[in-house]
A and B are shown apart, each in its own frame.
Chain A
Amino acid sequence: MAFLQSFLTTYAQSKLGVVGLSVFLVFIVLAVVTPYIAPFDPDALLVGKPLSPPSSTYIMGTDSFGRDVLSRILYGTRASLLVGVLAATTSAIIGIIVGAIAGYFGGRIDDLLMRVAEFFIVLPQFFLALIMAAIYGPNLLNIILIISILGWPTTARLLRAQFLYLRELDFVAASKVVGEPKIRIIFAEIFPNALSPIIANSALLVGTAVLLESGLSFMGLSDPNVFSWGKMLGEAQNYIRQAWWLATFPGSCIFILVLAANLIGDGLDQALNPRLRAV
């Protein structure tokens, strides 16, 4: 509890971090209460005249099918958050497993795994994601999996570096002497001590995942059953001369959500990294 308290006080010192967290929480609340606050059915055609500009009835205007933009944006919050959080979590888990194995065992396994990680970092990620989504089909599960497969190497590298250092310390030697099983030493002894850089990095992964998802759906690779901000931007592309509101609002949402995630990442980094705190 004392740790949590000290963590919260340090985190609160980063003003931008607090702003980011608040904005992110607002998005979560919006995603939950969407069905109660959305003014119209997001799928209903011709709730207003097609391409009507923002007004008191249609706060963010209507699209080319006469659907209400605000309602569609509100429902889009869910997909962005879902993809962002799930893809970040999955890639963090893959990264943690790979990084822990590489860092704990070292030697050949380490060499091999880090080579693979490097390979994935060098590849053009968004491009690879595009092609995989085009070939496997862009449903929500596939998109989350594709983003996770591309996102794990940063986590793996961070955790490996932590493990290389921690495994030499006395408490690990002590656990070995007592005869604890390797898997317990890795995940119950070393891992909790290696966690802090991973947490900050995961916030950044959420931002990257949201950007990737919106880029994919902008290119027309999105789940047809899901509302997506990126898809709205793709549709706006054809009406950019007539309807400024179609691109402006969904894009602002992506920008603000990603910025919030990145601010949280920076705030966490400052709160958890003792070297940064000292400065």
Chain B
Amino acid sequence: MSGRTTSTSKYIVLKILQFIPLLFGVVVVNFVIIHSAPGDPAFALAGRSLASEEYLTMIRHEYGLDKSLPEQFFIYLTQLLQLNLGYSLFYRSPVLDVILERVPATLLLAGTGLGIAFIFGIILGVLSSRKPRSFKSNAMSLFTLIGFSIPEFWLGQMLILVFSIMLGVFPVQGIITARAELTGLQYVGDVISHLFLPAVTYALFFLALVSRLTRAAMIEALSSDYVTAARAKGLKERTVLLRHALRNALLPVVTVLGLRAGVAISGAVLIETVFSWPGIGRLTSEAINARDNPMLMGLLIFLTTSVILSTTLTDVLYSRLDPRIRYR
């Protein structure tokens, strides 16, 4: 037992050590983008439209833009390590503050969407794994293909058209009804009714992904020896399916989902724009329209770091969940 604990903690340390070069890679990518931008890199750091000549001079000084490239990289890195992601002239506040303000809305949307996708994806995957060549199963593959092919933002527009405009069941946009002073349960209900359509839109891609992964993992698990053994013991089919097969099948599903954190964030950008959902994604489209470059670069650093953090966490979690993984 103690042997396993040490090997797991070694594995975690190893993963964290691998995390550092990835993070370094992110900083390099950012630095390269800033410096390969057409024109003066000060524009990329300041935001072209609003910056005065004095401000640009200040930025040039702050980031040492008259020094050599390696020195500039070092200065840039030091700024980031001090959590200075720059200053947005458009929002008139530090980039990191604006981003952090928007994080909860995105977490609410993504969390709900992923929750829906996970629950229904597993149900669909299990149901279709039982007879892999049946009509139901083929219909499932077609559904997954549709989930991967449909542009999410367009799906959002279509849902708005049908459910908000034609049927009037859900509000069109935003996170709460403007100017309605709601409290307590009414407030929660209002947010939920605003959340429903964007969350469903967000869920579809992941629903397709989870159900396909679950199906594949279940088909494999159902043909394995321990399932045959469980059946031979005379256990109920339900017990075999859920307690024996599904438990083992879930592991790869969780992992792949964790590694898709990048996709999760990309999806939020478009969907939040369609639904005017005031999160990180909406912030991105505002920053693009305002040509707020420091905000964009800050978002890039912030999001890529979060993505890499979440993949590292998934790896670590995986090592805790799967007894077969041991690292010396």
A residues near B (Cβ < 8 Å) are: 16, 119, 121-128, 130-132, 134-137, 207, 211, 214-215, 218-221, 230, 233, 236-237, 240-241, 244, 247-248, 251, 254-255, 258-259, 261-263, 266
- Chain B interface, number of residues (Cβ within 8 angstroms): 51
Q: A136-B37, A259-B145 are in contact. Are A244 and B161 (CB under 8 A)?
A: yes
Q: How far is the CB of B37 from chain A (nearest CB, A)?
A: 5
Cβ–Cβ contact A122 & B311, under 8 A? yes
Cα-based distance from A137 to B262 in the complex (angstroms): 23
Question: Can you give 24 A-B contacts (C-beta < 8 A)?
Answer: A122-B262, A122-B308, A123-B29, A124-B263, A124-B265, A127-B300, A130-B288, A131-B33, A134-B291, A136-B38, A211-B149, A214-B151, A220-B285, A220-B288, A241-B172, A244-B161, A247-B158, A254-B151, A258-B149, A259-B146, A259-B149, A259-B150, A262-B145, A266-B145
Tell which of B150, B262, B267 touches A255, judged by Cβ atoms closer than 8 Å: B150
Cβ–Cβ contact A219 & B297, under 8 A? no
Is B91 interfacial (CB 8 A cutoff)?
no
**Which residues on A sit within 8 Å (CB–CB) of B297?**
131
Cα-based distance from A136 to B39 in the complex (angstroms): 10
Q: How far is the CB of B260 from chain A (nearest CB, A)?
A: 9
**Which residues on A sit within 8 Å (CB–CB) of B209?**
none
Cα-based distance from A162 to B245 in the complex (angstroms): 32
Cα-based distance from A131 to B261 in the complex (angstroms): 18
Cα-based distance from A125 to B259 in the complex (angstroms): 13
Cβ–Cβ contact B148 & A124, under 8 A? no
Q: A123-B307, A244-B161 are in contact. Are A219 and B145 (CB under 8 A)?
A: no
Cβ–Cβ contact A134 & B262, under 8 A? no
Q: How far is the CB of A214 from chain B (nearest CB, A)?
A: 6
Is B269 interfacial (CB 8 A cutoff)?
yes
B residues near A (Cβ < 8 Å) are: 22, 25-26, 29, 33-34, 36-38, 44, 142, 145-146, 148-151, 153-154, 157-158, 160-161, 165, 172, 259, 261-263, 265-267, 269-270, 273-274, 284-285, 288-289, 291, 293, 296-297, 299-300, 303-304, 307-308, 311
Tell which of B142, B154, B299, B307 touches A122, judged by Cβ atoms closer than 8 Å: B307
Cβ–Cβ contact B307 & A251, under 8 A? no
Tell which of B26, B36, B165, B284 touches A130, judged by Cβ atoms closer than 8 Å: B284
Cβ–Cβ contact B158 & A248, under 8 A? yes
Tell which of A122, A124, A127, A263 touches B22, judged by Cβ atoms closer than 8 Å: A122
Cα-based distance from A123 to B261 in the complex (angstroms): 9
- Give B287's nearest chain A residue, CB to CB: A134
- Given A16-B142, A123-B29, 13 extra CB contacts under 8 A: A124-B262, A125-B262, A126-B269, A127-B299, A131-B297, A132-B33, A207-B148, A220-B285, A233-B151, A233-B157, A237-B274, A244-B165, A254-B154
Cβ–Cβ contact A122 & B259, under 8 A? yes
Cα-based distance from A125 to B267 in the complex (angstroms): 10
Cα-based distance from A240 to B269 in the complex (angstroms): 19
Q: How far is the CB of B179 from chain A (nearest CB, A)?
A: 19
Cβ–Cβ contact A207 & B266, under 8 A? no
**Which residues on B sit within 8 Å (CB–CB) of A241?**
165, 172
- Give B280's nearest chain A residue, CB to CB: A127
Q: How far is the CB of B204 from chain A (nearest CB, A)?
A: 12
Cα-based distance from A258 to B151 in the complex (angstroms): 9
**Which residues on A sit within 8 Å (CB–CB) of B293?**
134-135
Tell which of B33, B151, B165, B285 touches A135, judged by Cβ atoms closer than 8 Å: B33
Cβ–Cβ contact A119 & B151, under 8 A? no
Q: A136-B38, A259-B149, A262-B145 are in contact. Are A219 and B266 (CB under 8 A)?
A: no
- Give B304's nearest chain A residue, CB to CB: A123
**Which residues on A sit within 8 Å (CB–CB) of B38?**
136-137
**Which residues on B sit within 8 Å (CB–CB) of A126?**
263, 266-267, 269-270
Cα-based distance from A258 to B205 in the complex (angstroms): 14
- Give B166's nearest chain A residue, CB to CB: A244
Cβ–Cβ contact B161 & A240, under 8 A? yes
Cβ–Cβ contact A251 & B157, under 8 A? yes
- Give A137's nearest chain B residue, CB to CB: B38
**Which residues on A sit within 8 Å (CB–CB) of B29?**
123, 128
Q: How far is the CB of B159 from chain A (nearest CB, A)?
A: 11
**Which residues on B sit within 8 Å (CB–CB) of A119?**
22, 25
**Which residues on A sit within 8 Å (CB–CB) of B296?**
130-131, 134-135
Q: A122-B259, A135-B33 are in contact. Are A127 and B151 (CB under 8 A)?
A: no
**Which residues on A sit within 8 Å (CB–CB) of B303?**
124, 127
- Give B25's nearest chain A residue, CB to CB: A119
**Which residues on B sit within 8 Å (CB–CB) of A123?**
26, 29, 262, 304, 307
Which 6 interchain pairs have the tightest Cβ spacing? A251-B154, A126-B266, A124-B262, A259-B149, A258-B149, A247-B157
Q: How far is the CB of B131 from chain A (nearest CB, A)?
A: 14
Cα-based distance from A96 to B302 in the complex (angstroms): 32
Cα-based distance from A75 to B160 in the complex (angstroms): 27
Q: A126-B266, A219-B270 are in contact. Are A255 and B151 (CB under 8 A)?
A: yes
Q: How far is the CB of A136 from chain B (nearest CB, A)?
A: 7
